[in-house]
Amino acid sequence: MTDVKRNPEETGPESAQRPVLSDSEALRYTPENLFARGGWLHSPDGPWRPEGITPPPDERTRVVDTQRGPFRTVQQAVNAAVDGAGSRARVWIAVAPGVYRGVVYLPANAPPITIYGTGETPEQVSLALTLDARFTPQQYQAAVNACGEFQPGDPAWEEYQCIAASGAPEIGTGASAVVWAQSDGFQLLNLSVVNTLLDSVDGQAHQAVALRTDGDRVQLERLRLISRQDTLWLNSRGVAQGAASHISRVRVKDCYIEGDVDYVFGSASAYFENVHFHTVSSRGAGEAFVLAPSTPHDVPFGFLVQQCRFTTDNGFGETLFAKLGRAWDHGARETGYRPDHTANGQALIRDSFTDAGFDAKAPWGAAATTGRPFAASRSALRDDVRYNRLVEYHNQQRVENRGKTPAQKRRRQG
């Protein structure tokens, strides 16, 4: 096949710091290929073909409402769904407009659950709490379980207790999530998840996850996910030292995601479609990275980003420029990066737009954890483990209004 010549305004010429796929190389990077296998690799699932999320008639749902009904919190409805699961049939949880302060934990044995907001827009339903990876277990207990929301025997008691009773000096990134779903088949629709730590801390490392998913066949649609560092964690179970025993597949569609450092990260194989990534400078972090995949070295597909927008606020574009991302060399702090062993994050951004706040010449940074300098393979073997796997295809950079977006102007911070 003869490659079609690119418009020189699209992505720009390939360089050592800005690798660009050819037309023929780009053919393999499709959602169909990314979703072709998943689950436990010793007995993988077949192809996954996700469709849009369509809530059923009201009588088939559990309704969460702060003013009335049997469930005043989302966690109460999740607990009832897990306790009453006599089959693997999907459980629908409708959340009425309002602000729901507290964490939501779905254990690994939960049935497929869809949590969806019943408002006209995602802004009208907000799941919110302030959590910081630097919290002590005692601070975590005070934030999460001050009124006894979690009790022995509850479906998510183990998840809560392993953090609260850990004895560690800090709870860590994994425990800082407002919503944490370990189960397969999880869906989230038409609401906001906000870690309200936001700009209340300095620009140092303050991981504050809004949403963490660990399971396979996860769908996230029409959401607002807001934090600063580590907003969205798309994780896979069974990942140790860069090798995978489990592949989690995730579809992210029609969402707004806001943050500053590594704010979309993890080891899952995820497809992003029509997503607005908005990078902010308000915390004063001094650097910014959107994507931080930690794809296992033996998994070919990490993050596929298609027909999306990357914007920045007015703090970028003169002396400070945001990066599209960097690899996360997960688990290699002591060993350094080791080919064929360490995670080697894979991402392709294609058919998308970036504004002038992004670094057009060197859009990818040195790896998180190890500081491994960015180096791209320029051979036909884009999966060479000696090099990074972060690439672009048919993107455009254009000047946009980098002040407040319409979503920022109308949102409530929880």
Q: Residues for the chain: how many in total?
A: 414
The domain tally of the chain equals 1
Note if 329 is an active site residue.
no
pLDDT, residue 40, reads 84
In whole angstroms, what separates CA 390 from the centre of its chain? 17
Question: DSSP secondary structure string, 150-210?
Answer: S-TTSTTHHHHHHHHT---SS--GGG--SEEE-STT-EEEEEEEEETTGGGS-SS--B--S
Which pTM value belongs to this model? 0.93
Q: What is the DSSP letter of 3?
A: P
| 401, pLDDT greater than 60 | no
- Name the CA dihedral angle for 36, 40, 43, 46, rounded to a multiple of 10 degrees: -20
CA distance 389 to 348: 8
| 66, pLDDT greater than 70 | yes
Q: What is the DSSP letter of 4?
A: P
**DSSP-based three-state secondary structure for 23:** helix
pLDDT, residue 381, reads 61
| 389, pLDDT greater than 80 | yes
Domain limits at 216? 23-47+60-410
Catalytic residue among 214, 262, 313, 355: 262
The answer to the question of residue 352 being in a domain is: yes
Question: At 107, is the pLDDT very low, low, confident or very high (cuts 50, 70, 90)?
Answer: very high
Question: At 106, is the pLDDT very low, low, confident or very high (cuts 50, 70, 90)?
Answer: very high
Question: At 242, is the pLDDT very low, low, confident or very high (cuts 50, 70, 90)?
Answer: low
Question: At 411, is the pLDDT very low, low, confident or very high (cuts 50, 70, 90)?
Answer: very low
pLDDT, residue 16, reads 85
Q: Which residues pair with 195 in a beta bridge?
A: 129
The answer to the question of residue 1 being in a domain is: no
Question: At 241, is the pLDDT very low, low, confident or very high (cuts 50, 70, 90)?
Answer: low
Q: What is the DSSP letter of 6?
A: P
CA atoms within 13 A on the CB side of 156: 28
Question: At 18, is the pLDDT very low, low, confident or very high (cuts 50, 70, 90)?
Answer: very high
Question: At 413, is the pLDDT very low, low, confident or very high (cuts 50, 70, 90)?
Answer: very low
Reported as type and span, the H/E element at residue 221 is: strand 218-226
Question: At 58, is the pLDDT very low, low, confident or very high (cuts 50, 70, 90)?
Answer: confident
pLDDT, residue 383, reads 80
The answer to the question of residue 14 being in a domain is: no
| 256, pLDDT greater than 90 | yes
pLDDT, residue 69, reads 81
pLDDT, residue 385, reads 86
Mean pLDDT of 309-323: 96
Of 176, 286, 297, 192, the closest CA to residue 244 belongs to 297
The vertex-167 CA angle with 166 and 169, nearest 5°, equals: 110
CATH of the domain at 377: 2.160.20.10
CA distance 192 to 189: 9
Q: Which of 16-20, 155-159, 202-206 has the lowest mean pLDDT?
A: 16-20
The answer to the question of residue 55 being in a domain is: no
Of 271, 288, 397, the closest CA to residue 346 belongs to 271
Query: Model confidence over 114-159: pLDDT tens digits?
Result: 999 999 999 999 999 999 999 999 999 999 999 999 999 999 999 9
The answer to the question of residue 106 being in a domain is: yes
**DSSP-based three-state secondary structure for 141:** helix
Mean pLDDT of 1-17: 53
Mean pLDDT of 40-48: 86
pLDDT, residue 45, reads 87
CA atoms within 13 A on the CB side of 121: 9
**Are the C-beta atoms of residues 45 and 76 closer than 8 Å to each other?**
no
| 24, pLDDT greater than 80 | yes
The answer to the question of residue 371 being in a domain is: yes
CA atoms within 13 A on the CB side of 35: 16
| 4, pLDDT greater than 80 | no
Q: Which of 54-68, 165-179, 256-270, 398-412 has the lowest mean pLDDT?
A: 398-412
Q: Which residue has the tokens 């295809």?
A: 393
User: In the numeric block, which tokens belong to residue 313?
Assistant: 């606020």
**DSSP-based three-state secondary structure for 222:** strand
CA distance 357 to 20: 20
Of 375, 393, 397, 396, the closest CA to residue 29 belongs to 393
Question: DSSP secondary structure string, 313-380?
Answer: -TTSSSS--BEEE--B-TT-TTT---TTTS---EEEEES-EE-TTB-SS--BPPPBTT-PPP-B--SS
Question: At 402, is the pLDDT very low, low, confident or very high (cuts 50, 70, 90)?
Answer: low
The answer to the question of residue 312 being in a domain is: yes
Mean model confidence pLDDT for the chain: 91
pLDDT, residue 400, reads 54
Query: 58-62, 84-88, 89-93: which has the highest mean pLDDT?
Result: 89-93
Q: Within a 10 A sphere around the Cβ of 264, how many other Cβ atoms?
A: 26
Mean pLDDT of 240-265: 90
CA distance 345 to 385: 10
**Are the C-beta atoms of residues 230 and 209 closer than 8 Å to each other?**
yes
Q: In whole angstroms, how far apart are CA 162 and each of 136, 171, 174?
A: 13, 10, 11
- Number of helical (H) and strand (E) elements in the chain, helices listed first: 6, 28
The answer to the question of residue 87 being in a domain is: yes
CA distance 413 to 195: 9
